[in-house]
Structure 1
């Protein structure tokens, strides 16, 4: 049985550069692999090296220093090698919901002014009815995309602005044409996982605690 997927809110703010990529979503998994006590992961440059170690299953590792030690002074440990299997997404279904009161503003100019100052200017512009706006309830700068999310206090304002697509905004001493896009939020409706083997990584187990406590 697969583990329960934790709930996580997601907002998709990707930029589409090619028309054929509009229905594609690139998912890069970040795997956290829990290790039990007495084990370690080793990743090699070549997959064939890892495969040979796994096929041998058991290995004796010499931990002693020096070549002329007596048998009583030598320290060896016996460890077991096994492949590493992780669960990776094979199918992802996302349910998108359009925020009826929010818009995304992009193509912002680089004016060298603080973010708060830019947010103030955008809020002032879009709060005026002559510009097609209304009272702005909240504003937020999205650092990872360079976009600004504006949320209005009234319904219908965001939809009308989105239909325009672009709008000229007076910022400082210049006018800039900004892009207006709908604000979409997504929830994972279905996620299927399948086991995948790491070709260059080996799991070593059976490692004893051979280091004593250091004297204070």
Structure 2
């Protein structure tokens, strides 16, 4: 697959703005942190109406809250009330799970993230509080990706991988990279290159997530196999 030149590709490569957490902070929650979470309660943790943003317990769990807020700020998502509600509830779900297991999320295994996300949307809803509505799970996927290094999206059943990729990497960059793949496929004579096809965006989004970059999957290094055959 012929793509951009190496210098151009290097400039286009996506880099996460979220720094690694693993190894820099103790994974074990202190008694003070677990107490703070209990004291804050659902109204504060979910940031519902009349919650207290100045409650002193927020400072006690700041090392847990701040990275997730950084992730939320990095998402390419419309700033609607519905999306804000879902992001806040996703943070609350993770914080409550930390209190339950006594460990910070950056120490969770892939299996622990999978247990939270569920193998399907129904499985997710069956094991989270009733207030964690459907829009919460995709944001949790983003947190698992950034903060837990989770990449087992093939185990999550059916969900909109294109929306998740756009949320993490930015819609403009994702659409540009998919457009480049479509152009190559069209040049090869494949019908999959047509704009109306949904298969290419879904497959490419999965590749972007596995590569942890929307540009790595279409870089010159991946343009062919060792034998010179097309590797798409």
TM-score (norm 1): 0.24
Question: Which structure features the higher share of helix residues?
Answer: 2
Higher relative contact order (CA 8 A, sep 6+): 1
**Normalised TM-score (structure 2):** 0.23
Which structure: greater strand fraction?
A: 1
